[in-house]
Every structure is written in structure tokens, then in C-alpha cells.
Chain A
Amino acid sequence: MTRTGSARAGLRGWGGVTGMAVACAVTASLTLLPLSHGGADSFGVGVSGPGTATAVPARADDCKDPEASLQPSSADGPSIAKIKARGKLIAGVDQNSFRWGYRNPETGRLEGFDIDLVRAIAQDILGDPDKVIFRAIPTNQRIAALENDKVDVVVRTMTINCGRLDQVSFSTAYFQAGQQVLAPKDSPITGYDKSLAGKRVCTAEGSTAYEALEKQSFGAVFKDEHDGTEADEDRLTVPNQLDCLVRLQLGEVDAVVTDNALAAGQAAQDPAVVLKGDKPFTTEYYGVATKHGANDLVARVNQVLVDYRKGGADSPWMVSYRKWLATGLPGITAPPAPKYRSN
């Protein structure tokens, strides 16, 4: 497979000097053990040794470090009180992302890495992992659902970025992902590079992948004639990333560009396709989103994440990773290190 690359996953990429001390302290224990086993890396953005980190360039003018979140805390606040009064945590999740949040047609139950994390949050706040109302929300309803109080948290492969920080609050990162090219095993496509020239590439409408192709397409064909209108053909740009795998299997497109985490879910459903290229060509972090300014809830989730990451190879995070993601995304040895705001 492609992912036999460089060094570690978790902690490189954490830029802010302020967060470094905490980051190192918390992650060292989690990462050193796996590293000593020489774990392969799926997200080898930087080739940094254990305990070191490379600086991340600023993402926006006044938003240097979107992944830095509030310090963990178990203190109650208005948001927590509301959840406790209700007796249920309402979580906005995906139902279609294999191994992340999806409804198993066999059992009818929601399963996946995101779902495990939601249950851990419910366990911490309400003492019962089943006291959760799962609401399936589409990708572009995630922020609206929080703003309209339809859900308490969104745990739905949601990327932390500066643009969203004005609308919602994020926990610390619980997963590192990036855009990557997915293609059939024997395809001449080698990754996000010149091999895409003249190829038909499928992306989800309005996705990061689409934006990336708009900036640099390497000559790939990736737009429908009537994109964004009622007459949209849905051939190359599709409503959902999974639709891309359908088109890929039917030979209607040559490659898919999507989040590698989701692409791994696709690869897990079709052994004939693989992630191309050594590593993702972008770096993104997934966080748990809450309503903007729900600081008590953010701190509480961060506390849950601290416990979730704790325990090395037997941490709940690693257990969940091995259960859901290791097949499609092998080589991850530890969760990403959290970063906290200094103030």
C-alpha cells in the first residue's frame, strides 16, 4: 500500500508555540510507545521526530491557530445544565460515512468512529453512553443545526478552520485528515499530480476537494456543464462523496478526490480501489463542534478527549480506531495531540 511513508502522525503540524508545552506533555506518553514500534504513518506531513513539531503557517490573517481550543474542564455551565435537564445529549452525526458514522443496514444502528466519541461524551456528561439522540444532518446543515439549537454537538468529520470559528466553537482536534486521490489499483493515476491530466475526477459539490481542484486541477476534468443549477447532471460533481465511488465503480469517472478519512471508508467498501500518493495533499483536523460560545461544553468535550486519548495503545481512541478505521487507514499509531489556547 501507499502508506508506508515517513514518521509520526499525531503531533507534527502543531504550530503555535504557546500550545507546544501542553501538546508535548499530553501526547508524549501516547505517541512514544507506538513510535518505538516503528508504526507506519498515514499522515506524514512533516518528518519530525518524536516530541518535536513543525510550525503550521498561519491560515488566516487574524486566525493563526484554529485548532487551539479551550483548556479542558469538567465544570458545569449553562450548556451542560441544559443537556442534564433534558437527560439526553443531542448529537448531529452522519449516517452515510462508512466506519465514521453510518447506519448498519444489518442492525439499523448507527456505528463508527464518530459515534463512539459521541457515546463517550454522553457517558461523561450523563453517565450513560446510550442517552443520546442521534440526528442525521447533511454536511451543509452542520452549522445551521448548531445555531438553531437543533443539536448540542456536531461530531461529523467536521474540519476545524478559521472561517467556521466565527460561527461555531470547536473542541481540540480528534483526528487528522487531508485530501487525497482515490483510484482503482491499476490506474495510471499516481496522486494529486500531472497524472490527473485529462482524467475525469469526481468530487462532492461544495467540498474542499472541489475547491482544491478549482485552484489546481492538473488538467483534470472535474466540472459538470450545469454545476450549481437545477439542470446539474451530477456526473462529476455529486451530492455526496459516496456517490463518487458509485461513479468510479461504473467507470463513469477515473478518480475521486476526497478527504482521506472518507476515502478510506470508500476503499473499505471496494477492495479494488486505493488511496493514491504517499500522503494527503492538505492537512485538516476534525473537531467536535458546539454552538458558538458554548464554552462550558467545549471545555467539557476537551476533558472527555483528554480521557479518550489516554492509555496508549489501549486508549479508547486507539480501540475505536482499530475497530473502525485501521483497515482503510492503516498505520496510525496515536491520536493527534491537542492544542490549547493560552488565555
Chain B
Amino acid sequence: MTYPPNVRTAPDHVPAQPPVPASVPAPQGGAWSEPAARLRAAATTEPGRLQIIGAVLAALVVAFGAVTAIEVSDRAAATDDVVSRSQPLSAEAANIYRSLADADTAAASGFLAGAQEPRDVRERYEKDIKDASRLLVKAASTTDATSPSGQEIATLNQELPRYTGLVERARANNRQGLPLGGAYLRYANQKMSKELLPAAERLYTAETGRLDQDYDSARAWPFFSLGLGVVALGALFWAQRRNYRRTNRVFNHGLLAATAASTVLVLWLAVGHTVARTELQDADVHGQQSLDVLNQARINSLKARANELLTVVARGAVLTADGRNDKYETDYTTGMKALGDELGTAGKLADDSQGSGPVANAISGVSEWQTRHRTARKTDDNGDYEGALKQIIGAKDSTGESFNRVDDALEQALAHEQGEFTRAAKDGRGALGGLPVGAAALAALAAVAAIIGVNRRLSEYR
């Protein structure tokens, strides 16, 4: 059979065609041979080809819509994980870490005040321990016990009661005026800084790693959807071009509608995903990275404060491994240096005045703290222990005051960055909102339109 150069002549043959493919194939073929034969037979006639084209177009746009819905749902779920699961877990791990470091600082601070421990210091210590225990229980409930994080949580759960036991022994001995109390406090600090804090840090790192993974899956480009979208658009374009060349009709309304729906979907997908990526990038750079460095800074300030206090508790009883310097004073210096570096980074990461204000405040607090610390050290070295103690734990003009200033500023900065993070990440999640449903609807629309468009041509043969 010859192909009519002009489709207009085709309708004459059409009525004859359908029965032919229906009756010609013998039923002797297997399950596969009959449809294949029908297809082969259909491909030999224009209406058959049109039917195939219609089916392929419909299948392509449906596949495009389905893959888009699946991939975007995946991205949306990952973004949702970032916002509502892994970031809160990372923040809670940071809180566990901070509570523990804070408890150690409060314990040393209360110890130095002597038998009459100030009530607020005691309450701070108790709140820290309570927070840490509560968050550990919560973390345990969302973590597989056999995972590395689960093991860190187990370590923390085991060691925390031992730590508090040592602190209570230190207090009891201190109240009796026995120097043994100081030795217990140092042992408690050793347990904290060599076992608990490293475990908490590893937990924090693991949770933050999980957050990064969720980030990556949320930000991954939906290549399949975009690829299929391009293929579907290409097929639609080819079908219309073929149509035009055969009929000289410029527009086929159905195919045009299908193209429009597919284009909208491709654009929606590309723009929505780009916006989501940008917001997530923003949440990461301006939120999470700031949070990370601020958390580290806060913990280093707490550690430095604990070491400063222990320098006065230990009174030269513990030296560095080389035996040259006081261990706690050396650790204080190291901690303060790290704190300074981290605050510098945090200052660079802060992208608005609300973020950089508290960081600048913390930086000036740190330099005030260091100046006061040097004065207090000098006082202590000159033999005026009482005076040095006042300069370290006194209410006014003390290093304690500077430390509180730094801690408050960091808390403020953290709250701001947490807000920044949540806002940006939620915006990112919002950018993908409705896209899966929209993809399904648009794809269905495009498929229906394509079929209608093809059927319109097909009807010309009847």
C-alpha cells in the first residue's frame, strides 16, 4: 500500500482499514505474536501510526508527570527531613553537648564558691543535668541502638550518673573542708572532658552528618524528570511538525494544549527546584554553618571557663604532659584561641546585623575576658588568692561576668541563626509544595490533550 502524499485523500481508505488488521492475523501466534503483528499491521497505515503516536505521546507525558511527582516528593521529603527531623536532632545533639559542658562549668563554679554554693549556680547545674538526661532519652528513642550514634548515646547514659556521683562526692568533701573535694572535682572534670564530651561531640558530628546527607538528597537535581520532560516536549514538537507537514494545519489544539501543560510542568519543576535549592543553600550557609561554628564556639567558651575555674581549684596540682605548665591554664589558653577563631568565622558567616551584632558582642566579651583573666592570674601569682578568686567568680568586673556576656551573646546569635535556618529551610520546602500534585494533574491534562489531539486527526479517517 502506498502512502498518500496528502492526508486529505486518506479518509477514503479509512473505513476499510480497521477490519483488516483485526481479521488478518491468524490466532495461531503466541501471546506475544498477536499484539506484535497487530502493531506491525497498524504501522502500515496512517491511522495505525497515528494511534501509535497518540499512545506514545500520552505515555511519555504520563511518565514525565509520574517521575516528576516521585522525584519531587522525594526531594520534598528530604527537605522535610532537614527541617523537621535531622536539623532538630543535630540541634538537640548540640544541646546535649552544651548542657554537659555547662554542667561542668557550673559544678566548678559552685565548688569554688565554697561550702555556701550560690543557689543560682546550683540550679544551673541541676538544669543542665536534667536537660542532658531528657535529651538523651529523646535522642535514644529516635536512634537505632546499634548505630554509632546509638552507641554514643549509650556511653553518655552510662557515664553521666558516674559524673554526677563524682560531683556530689566533691561537694560533700568540700563542705567538710577537705582538699579531697578538689581532687574529686578534677576527676569529674577529667571524666567529662575525656569521656562524656568527646562522646557528645561524636554524637553531634554524626547527627550533623545525617543532616548533610539530607541536604544533599534535597538539593540533588531531578535529572530523570527534567530529562523525560525534554523528551516529552521533543516528541510533542515532532508530532506537531509531522502533523503540519502532512496536513498543512499549523495548530492541533490538543497537541498544543499538551505541549503547553508539559512546558508549564518543566518550568515549574525547574524554577521550583532552583528556588528550593537556593533556599536550602541559604539555610545551610547562613543557618546551619553559622549554627555549627557558633555551637563549637559556645562549647569552647564553656570549656575555657571550666579550665579557668579548675586552674584555681587545682592550684598547680596538675601539669601538662611535659611538666612545664599548668594543665588547666594551658587548656584555657587553647580553648580561648579556638573560641577566637570560631567567632571570627561566625562573624564572616553572619549575613545581617541581627546575626553579626551578637557575634561582635561576643568577640569584645572574649577580649575583655582575656584581659581580666591576665589580671586575675597576676593577682593569684602574687599570692593574693582571695583577690584572684574575686576577680574570677565575683559578681562584678570578674572573668565570670565576661564569660556570661560571651555566653549570652552566643545564645542570642544561636537563636537568630536557628530562626534564619528554619525560615530558609521552610521556604525551600514551600517551593516544592504542590509540585507533586501539580505534576500529576498537568501530566494527566497533557496526556488527555495529546490523545484528543491525535483522535481529532484520527477522526478524519472515519
**A interface residues with partner B (beta carbon < 8 Å):** 90, 95-98, 102-106, 108, 110, 132-138, 140-141, 206, 228-230, 232, 234, 239-240, 242-243, 245-246, 249, 266, 269-270
Residues of A within 8 A of B186 (CB): 243
Chief secondary structure at chain A's binding surface? mixed
B383–A90 CB distance below 8 A = yes
Most chain B CB within 10 A, of A96, A104, A108, A134, is at: A96
Interface size class of B (residues with CB under 8 A): 20 to 34
- Asked whether any CB of chain A lies closer than 8 Å to the CB of B114, the reply is yes
B319–A239 CB distance below 8 A = yes
B178–A234 CB distance below 8 A = no
A95–B180 CB distance below 8 A = no
Residue of A nearest to B389 (CB): A108
A105–B183 CB distance below 8 A = no
Residues of B within 8 A of A104 (CB): 177
Q: Report which of A108, A136, A228, A240 forms a contact with B114, defined as CB distance below 8 A.
A: A108
B173–A269 CB distance below 8 A = yes
Q: Report which of B182, B316, B389 forms a contact with A141, defined as CB distance below 8 A.
A: B316
Given A108-B389, A239-B319, 17 more pairs with CB closer than 8 A: A90-B383, A95-B317, A96-B183, A105-B174, A105-B178, A134-B383, A135-B381, A135-B383, A136-B385, A138-B317, A138-B318, A229-B321, A234-B190, A242-B180, A242-B182, A243-B187, A246-B184
Could you jot down 25 A-B contacts, CB within 8 Å? A95-B317, A95-B385, A96-B317, A97-B179, A98-B178, A98-B179, A98-B180, A103-B385, A105-B114, A105-B177, A105-B179, A106-B177, A108-B114, A108-B386, A134-B385, A135-B383, A136-B316, A138-B318, A140-B319, A206-B323, A239-B327, A240-B318, A246-B180, A246-B183, A269-B180
Residues of A within 8 A of B335 (CB): none
Q: Report which of B183, B381, B382, B383 forms a contact with A242, defined as CB distance below 8 A.
A: B183
Q: Roughly how many angstroms separate A206 CA and B314 CA in the complex, as a whole number?
A: 18
Q: Roughly how many angstroms separate A108 CA and B186 CA in the complex, as a whole number?
A: 18
Q: Roughly how many angstroms separate A103 CA and B177 CA in the complex, as a whole number?
A: 9
Residues of A within 8 A of B316 (CB): 95, 136-138, 141
Q: How far is the CB of A231 from chain B (nearest CB, A)?
A: 9
- Asked whether any CB of chain A lies closer than 8 Å to the CB of B115, the reply is yes
Residues of A within 8 A of B178 (CB): 98, 105, 269
Q: How far is the CB of A315 from chain B (nearest CB, A)?
A: 27
Interface positions, chain B 317-372, Cβ under 8 Å from A, are 317-319, 321, 323, 326-327
Residues of B within 8 A of A140 (CB): 319, 323
Residues of B within 8 A of A230 (CB): 321
Interface positions, chain B 370-399, Cβ under 8 Å from A, are 381-386, 389
- Asked whether any CB of chain A lies closer than 8 Å to the CB of B181, the reply is yes
- Asked whether any CB of chain A lies closer than 8 Å to the CB of B315, the reply is yes
Q: Roughly how many angstroms separate A27 CA and B323 CA in the complex, as a whole number?
A: 39
B323–A103 CB distance below 8 A = no
**B interface residues with partner A (beta carbon < 8 Å):** 114-115, 169, 173-174, 177-184, 186-187, 190, 314-319, 321, 323, 326-327, 381-386, 389
Q: How far is the CB of B383 from chain A (nearest CB, A)?
A: 3
Residues of A within 8 A of B315 (CB): 95-96, 103, 136
**The 7 A-B residue pairs with the shortest CB-CB distance in the complex, in nearest-first order:** A133-B383, A95-B315, A138-B316, A239-B318, A240-B317, A242-B183, A136-B315
Q: Roughly how many angstroms separate A234 CA and B321 CA in the complex, as a whole number?
A: 11
Residues of A within 8 A of B173 (CB): 269
Residues of B within 8 A of A234 (CB): 190
Known A103-B315, A106-B114, A138-B317; judge A243-B183 contact (CB<8 A).
yes
Residue of A nearest to B383 (CB): A133
Q: How far is the CB of B346 from chain A (nearest CB, A)?
A: 29
Q: Roughly how many angstroms separate A104 CA and B385 CA in the complex, as a whole number?
A: 12
Q: Roughly how many angstroms separate A240 CA and B317 CA in the complex, as a whole number?
A: 6
Q: Roughly how many angstroms separate A96 CA and B384 CA in the complex, as a whole number?
A: 16
Q: Report which of B182, B321, B385 forms a contact with A96, defined as CB distance below 8 A.
A: B182
Residue of B nearest to A104 (CB): B177
Q: Roughly how many angstroms separate A141 CA and B319 CA in the complex, as a whole number?
A: 10
Residue of B nearest to A232 (CB): B321
Q: Roughly how many angstroms separate A270 CA and B385 CA in the complex, as a whole number?
A: 27
Q: How far is the CB of B387 from chain A (nearest CB, A)?
A: 11
B180–A245 CB distance below 8 A = yes
Q: Roughly how many angstroms separate A105 CA and B382 CA in the complex, as a whole number?
A: 20
Residues of B within 8 A of A132 (CB): 383
Residue of B nearest to A133 (CB): B383
B180–A102 CB distance below 8 A = no
Residues of A within 8 A of B114 (CB): 105-106, 108
Q: How far is the CB of A321 from chain B (nearest CB, A)?
A: 19
Known A105-B115, A138-B316, A239-B327; judge A133-B382 contact (CB<8 A).
yes
B385–A242 CB distance below 8 A = no
Q: Roughly how many angstroms separate A157 CA and B115 CA in the complex, as a whole number?
A: 28
Residue of B nearest to A110 (CB): B385
Q: How far is the CB of B265 from chain A (nearest CB, A)?
A: 60
B321–A228 CB distance below 8 A = yes
Residues of A within 8 A of B181 (CB): 105
Residue of B nearest to A247 (CB): B187
Q: Roughly how many angstroms separate A243 CA and B166 CA in the complex, as a whole number?
A: 12
Q: Roughly how many angstroms separate A110 CA and B385 CA in the complex, as a whole number?
A: 10
Q: Report which of B115, B183, B326 forms a contact with A240, defined as CB distance below 8 A.
A: B183
B179–A102 CB distance below 8 A = yes
Residue of B nearest to A150 (CB): B381
Known A239-B327, A242-B317; judge A270-B180 contact (CB<8 A).
yes
Q: Roughly how many angstroms separate A82 CA and B389 CA in the complex, as a whole number?
A: 29
Most chain B CB within 10 A, of A95, A140, A141, is at: A95
Residues of B within 8 A of A98 (CB): 178-180
Most chain B CB within 10 A, of A105, A137, A230, is at: A105
B183–A245 CB distance below 8 A = yes
Q: How far is the CB of B415 from chain A (nearest CB, A)?
A: 37
Residue of B nearest to A144 (CB): B324
